Structure 1
Amino acid sequence: MWSKSRNLLCFLALWLTLIPKDTWAQGSNQAIEVSGTIQASDTGESLPGVNILIKGTTTGTATDLDGNFTLRVPSPDAVLIFSFIGYNQVERRVGNTTSFNITLEPDQDSLSEVVVVGYGTQARATVTSAISSISSETIRELPVPNLASAIQGRAPGVNVTNAGAPGTNPVVRIRGIGTVGNNDPLYVIDGVPAGGLNQINTADIESIEVLKDASAAAIYGSRAANGVILVTTKKGQVGKPVVTVDSYVGTQSAWRQLDLLNTQQYLDFGRDLLTNGGEPVPQRFDNLGDLANVNTDWQGEMFRPATIQDHNVGISGGNESVIYNVSVGYFGQEGIMRGTDFERFSFRSNTEFKISDRVKVGQTLTIAYSNRNVEPFTGGRTQLEHMVKSVPYIPVRDESRLGGFRSPDRVDGSDPENPVLNAELRTNRQQEYKILGTAYGSATFDWTLS
């Protein structure tokens, strides 16, 4: 009896050794093929092109023209994600199910959203042209100084290049460059073509629509050849007065600086350069005199921590006879480089009066003032060029000289200007005033013709 049992155990051990290891995992990790049909709940029709993705992976498929799909999943624990534009996303665990009949519900929020299209408004579900929309909530997510910067990275097909200096208008290109001349898009603010984007307070914007295709030319003509950016400002709503206060203060700094030579490194480099070139070395290189202990960091003198701040106060409300939205704002931004800054004061008033059940009149008004300190360009050279070329053993200030500043002499073999002198004494300020207003009226007539 014991001999037979021993032989049986040996045979079982040998069988367990020879059997492939992955056979044990087939019961729980065996791939499963699932299939199914997807249809819309509102029409009952099958949906082609629905995305089916295994959650947590990049494996998936899409439905065919009849709304059918087939997909191989790794295990019963896999979760399938069904998604389609304009419909709510659905998730289903595979489990023991191999055939799925999925019904997708329309996303009412996205389909009922109203979009400004140039000649009025439309529900997003009925829009057929190429339009990108940006809401006021999205605009205020980041501290942006102007309208063009609010579009940056938020509208597909729109390229925004920021010059960097406070108060400068970014370069906006919609779907690339279309001409060798002016490629700027047309800006329309509350129905009126306008410029001066730095004078528009981003806190007053309700929405931005970017018209990118040729249909915009049917409304605005050849001016829309480079695209159209429609700006709608905030209006009042019927209800109790609502006071809003929006304010922030932050700092900016140069996150990266160039690795420039100090005094000793500059002298060693200068001697080697001139000697190898067969040029005489300036006498000052061997005897700096009163400049011997000077080691000026020109980038440290020019770059600074800069504040950026935005403060807005508004009141809106209305009743059956009048609705209103009034706001005042201040925006200030110091440049990270000395001699550059920008500030803006703005006032906006949007009102609408209901004269009778058939007649309405209203107005929009913007009053703004901006003051910008522009980087000085002397001799066709930028301040950064002066910083890079400035000699480290020359001090920034010298009380014995006119104006109190020191600059390189001819004996130094260098001709940059003192950038700190340019920033403090050679100021270039641009002041702009903007008044933009519209007035409108509407009347409804109920005529019966016979």
Structure 2
Amino acid sequence: MTGRLLIAVLFAVLLHPQVWAQDRQVSGRVTSQDDGTPVPGVNVVVEGTTRGTTTDVNGNYTIQLGPNENTLVFSFVGFKPAVIQVDSRSVIDVALESDITSLDEVVVIGYGEQRERDLTSSITTVTTEEIVKTPTAQAMQALQGKVAGLQIVSNGSPGDAPTVRLRGIGSYIQGTGTEEIDTEPLYVVDGMFFDNIDFLNTADIKSISVLKDASAAAIFGVRASNGVVLIETKSGNYNQAAQISYSGYYGVQRAQNVLKMANAEQFTAMANESGVPGEALNILNAMQRYGRSRVNPNVPDVNTDWYKEVLRVAPIQNHSLDISGGSDRATYLVGGSYFGQEGILDMKNDYERFNLRTRVDYRANDWLNIGANLNLSNAQKNSPDNAVWNQTYYAVPIMPVIDEQNVNAFPERWANAQDLGYRAGQNPFPTMRYNTDFMRIRKILSNFYAEIQIIPDKLSFKSTYNAAYTFLNQREVDLPYFIGDNFNRNVATINKKDETWVNQIWDNVLTYTNSFGLHNVTGMLGTSFRDESFQMLRARGTDLVSTDIKAWYLSNARNIDVNQVKDDGLRQYGISYFARIAYNFNDRYLVYGTIRADGSNKYQQTWGYFPSVGLGWVVSEEPFMEGVGGIDFLKLRASWGQLGNDKIPASDGANTTQTINTAFNDTMFTGTKTTNTFSFLEWELTEETNFGLTSELLGSRLSVEADYFIRDTKNAAIIFDPPLGQDDVLRPQGVIRNSGFELALNWQDELANGLTYSIGVNMATLKNEVRDLYGQPYLNHGQAEFRQRSYVGEPIYSFYGWEVVGVYQNNEEIQADPIAL
């Protein structure tokens, strides 16, 4: 037995070096730790040798290890190297951690992506981490103060989108009649064009990129003259287990900086000192009706703070829940959100929105990717009657909200200033309680795409279909009330309006990317077809059979105002062709160019051609910058581009004829009236030159973005008053210039305890100037009481009126002024 054991031990000792002398095969897959996507081209090297391999298009690799070799090194540009001990394993999957600086990050541009360090245009990107910090119903409201040159003004009411202007106003807002020209930027959500994004939940947004200059926006053609806001929504990640995410908040809104009005004692003093007998008499009437104050018997026993009465503390809340994840071939995201907000004006004044969203991306095989994105939005809004603000301003503090002595009033005994001697009722509460403006808003956004890798990592083709449906249902109801003479409404009225918008876009894009030594080229060719249609039906009914909410329908109105019935619609369509080339030599010299041809049936000028070019010089990559301390990255940029503008009204294009009725000798005759003047429009042309600087300093802790721009709007549609008293028409003869300087500074650093912080500041200047009005001395805007005028050499819409130089202090000053006499 002992002999057999000894033989076995000797055999094992002799066999041991032969076993370990054999080569081993190790395989696996390399993915990105950020999103789980496979990383092709990763270098896999046996440590201490030059022997290695690279991962294929799916991130897979296979490598042989020799005797005594037990460590693999994985490395790739943009990722931190990974050193892995093999031990006895034969399959090793690796997730690489990103090592990308802000300049290496990829930003979304029109119909593609580009590294930030390669940009020659003025583009600012805001990520979801910054967006969700601002609790708001509107995504653009969250950008306030974060983008230099972007002006955002809240419209106040719940659900109302803010006014957004990028680098000033380039068109005359007021056209002929009462229509206004849209000066908002173009919103592109996952490839679909929108005029506003009030349906989006901020928690669903991955990033927002603001394309500020013409070179960046020119690829979108005639829709982009006021700038472009690109929005990318969130999606799931590859190789991620199901992840449930919730975000939400609840808060309250309180009016700030409320106008301080005179109280009853101050108002009484003002009335008595005015020298107007009627004002003093109104004070006496108030004291007779409501009694005298015990504190000051010369003041009525009423002291109403009307702003306090009409305002309220209003809640606001948002809740978002989604489930996301993915396998090695597919990603998914399904989520829903609720947003609710009440307005600070104490009436039917609120907004609610419920969204459902789903997104799926699928790798069908090595050369085909497909995906779909669906967003359903169902909202309802009660809009306030803004006349209340004016009525509150003029309401007198010596009158209560409710007057029990007003026994003839109904449905409630609201106080009436006419009972005190004033000409108007001056009580805002009837307007607040008996007016309803309700709107239901339903929107559907759908996106479907297929992407084919013709030559892996070099040539791809992507076809995308976007469809957006908007259904608006509005109902305005004014209920009857009686407060006093000339302060009443006799019958209930209803205004009903239904609108349907259907927008479709089909994009087809061919993209080529390749590198030849130090030369890097990306080229793109594409075509886009768009079809936009609109239908509207509106009617007005009076004298509802009942004031109950169940009767608020046109069928319950005893009278239909035929002059207020309108059935309207339109369809506009067009096709566009576009191309882009981006060239990079040794990460040092950059060239960028685009061209877009837009065709439309909207104007007499059917086609418009809009080019752009951009140049960049990365100075910090030059040999003479070696050893220069404090400058980590420095790039100089210059760009030029032209854009069209299709947001001005469609051109009439022909003489117009209308039917008229007139009486002769007490007999009504029907005839026709033909005008021989009509609007003839071309594309408004926006031409912009931009000079910029991008840099990172002091160990990349300080980033600097600076831009100077000159933007000229040519062929601007302006109102022209033909001779002989004919109707006003639009002519493409105006010229408007906007110029300015923008600066953004950001500092980010890490403290000793590992805590990171960032500080940012930005500023912008803007000079607006009217340069041509087709020979006219000026153009009027606004109302007669608040007149605005546009003069050549002055800013557009300048306020026009008397300049106040002082206030007369006594009669002697009046007598001494010859103008006053």
* Structure-1 residue corresponding to 2:329: 321
Deviations 1:163-182 (A, max 9, x none): 22222211111111222243
- 1:358 has 2:359 as partner: no
Counterpart code for 2:147:
A
In structure 1, the residue corresponding to 2:223 is in which secondary structure?
Answer: helix
CA contact under 8 A between 1:386 and 1:416: conserved in structure 2?
no
Residue 424, structure 1, aligned to residue 433, structure 2 = yes
Shift in CA distance, 259/213, structure 1 to aligned 2, threshold 3 Å: closer
User: Aligned-pair distance for 1:430?
Assistant: 2.4
Amino acid at match of 2:389: L
CA drift of 1:129 comes to: 1.1
Letter of the 2:171 partner, please give it: T
What is the aligned partner in structure 2 of residue 285 from structure 1? 284
Is the CA contact 2:271–2:279 (under 8 Å) kept in the aligned structure 1? no
Task: Note the alpha carbon deviations across 1:361-391, whole angstroms, 9 max, x for none.
Answer: 11111111222222214xxxx3222112112
Which residue in 2 is equivalent to 1:227? 227
Correspondence list, 1:289-308, <5 A: 289-292=288-291, 293-308=301-316
Indicate the residue corresponding to 1:367 in structure 2: 376
Counterpart contact for 1:167–1:372, Cα < 8 Å: yes
Q: 1:127: how far off?
A: 1.5
Aligned equivalent of 1:387: 392
> Which of the residues 106, 127, 144 maps onto 2:136?
144
Q: Write out per-residue CA displacement over residues 391-415 of structure 1, whole angstroms, 9 at most, x where no aligned residue.
A: 2232222463202123321643252
Deviation of 1:426 after TM superposition, in Å, equals 1.1
Matches within 5 A, 1:44-59: none
Q: After superposition, give the CA deviation of every residue in 1:330-383 in whole Å (9 maximum; x if it has no partner).
A: 111122221232221111111112222222211111111222222214xxxx32
Q: Which residue of 2 aligns with 1:9?
A: none
CA contact (8 A) 2:418 2:424 kept: yes
Return the alpha-carbon distance in structure 2 between the equivalents of residues 412 and 346 of structure 1.
53
Q: Contact conserved, 2:282 with 2:421, CA < 8 A, in 1?
A: no
Partner of 2:421: 412
Gap change, CA 1:298 and 1:171, over 3 Å in 2: same
Moved more, 293-302 or 262-271: 262-271
Task: Report the equivalent of 1:438.
Answer: 447
**How many Å separate the matches in 1 of 2:282 and 2:451?**
83
Structure 1 match to 2:401: 396
Q: Deviations over 1:263-299 (max 9, x none)?
A: 34323322332xx246574366256344223322211
**Closer, same or farther: CA 415–323 of 1 in aligned 2, 3 Å:** same
CA distance in 1, matches of 2:230, 2:109: 8
Code of the residue aligned with 1:157 in structure 2: it is G
Q: CA offsets, 1:30-80, max 9 Å, x none?
A: xxxxxxxxxxxxxxxxxxxxxxxxxxxxxxxxxxxxxxxxxxxxxxxxxxx
Equivalent position of 1:200 in the other structure: 200
Equivalent residue, structure 2, for 1:8: none
Which aligned pairs between 1:342-357 and structure 2 lie closer than 5 A? 342-357=351-366
Tell me whether 175-184 or 147-156 shows the greater mean CA deviation.
Answer: 175-184
Shift of 1:158: 1.1
- Distance between the aligned counterparts of 2:420 and 2:286, measured in 1? 12
Q: % of aligned pairs identical?
A: 35
For structure 2, the 5+ residue unaligned runs are 1-98, 174-181, 292-300, 457-821
Match for 1:220: what amino acid?
F
Do the aligned partners of 1:132 and 1:209 also contact (CA within 8 Å) in 2? yes
Counterparts of 1:199 and 1:283, CA distance in 2: 50
SS at match of 1:258: coil
Aligned length: 335
C-alpha separation in 2, matches of 1:412 and 1:326: 63
Q: Distance in 2 between matches of 1:349 and 1:259?
A: 49
- 1:386–1:418: 8 Å Cα contact kept in structure 2? yes
Alignment RMSD: 2.2
Q: List aligned pairs for 1:174-253, cutoff 5 A.
A: 174-181=166-173, 182-238=182-238, 239-253=240-254
Q: Which residue of 2 aligns with 1:270?
A: 271
1:163 to 143, 151, 155: 155
Distance in 2 (alpha carbons) for counterparts of 1:177 and 1:197: 20
Q: TM-score, normalised by structure 1?
A: 0.70
Q: Which runs of 5+ in 1 are unaligned?
A: 1-106
Name the SS for the 1:282 alignment partner: helix
Q: CA deviation at 1:203?
A: 0.7
In 2: Cα distance, 1:334 partner to 1:417 partner: 25
Secondary structure, in 3 states, of the residue corresponding to 2:267? Answer: helix
Do the aligned partners of 2:263 and 2:303 also contact (CA within 8 Å) in 1? yes
Asked if structure 2 preserves the Cα contact closer than 8 Å seen for 1:304 and 1:338, the reply is yes
**Map 1:74-85 → 2, pairs under 5 A:** none
Equivalent residue, structure 2, for 1:257:
258
Instruction: Report if the CA contact (8 A) 2:282-2:422 is conserved.
Output: no
Answer whether contact 2:247 2:319 (CA < 8 A) is retained.
Answer: yes
Q: Does 1:331 align with 2:339?
A: yes
Indicate if the aligned counterparts of 1:349 and 1:366 stay in contact, CA closer than 8 A: yes
1:366, 1:109 → 2: CA distance? 33
Q: Which amino acid aligns with 1:262?
A: N
Task: Identify the residue that residue 15 of structure 1 maps to in structure 2.
Answer: none
Change (3 A) 1:410 1:426: same
State the alpha-carbon separation in 2 of the partners of residues 132 and 345 from structure 1.
30
Question: Residue 128 of structure 1 is aligned with which of 115, 120, 131?
Answer: 120
CA distance 1:272–1:247, change in 2 (3 Å): same
- Distance in 2 between residues matched to 1:287 and 1:385, nearest whole Å: 22
Q: What secondary structure is seen at the aligned counterpart in 1 of 2:102? A: helix
Contact 1:315 1:325 in 2 (8 A): yes
Stretch deviating more after TM superposition (123-132 or 332-341): 332-341
CA distance in 2, matches of 1:439, 1:200: 19
Shift of 1:417: 4.1
Matched residues in 2 for 1:280 and 1:270: separation?
5
CA distance in 2, matches of 1:352, 1:112: 25
User: Is the Cα–Cα contact under 8 Å of residues 252 and 307 in structure 1 kept in the other structure?
Assistant: yes
Map Cα deviations across residues 163-204 of structure 1 (whole Å, 9 max, x no partner): 222222111111112222432111111011013421111110
Q: Secondary structure at the match of 1:402?
A: coil
Classify 1:373/1:278 alpha carbon distance in 2 versus 1 (closer, same or farther; 3 Å). Answer: same
Q: TM (normalized to structure 2)? A: 0.39
1:113, distance to aligned residue in structure 2 (A):
1.0
Classify 1:287/1:250 alpha carbon distance in 2 versus 1 (closer, same or farther; 3 Å).
Answer: closer
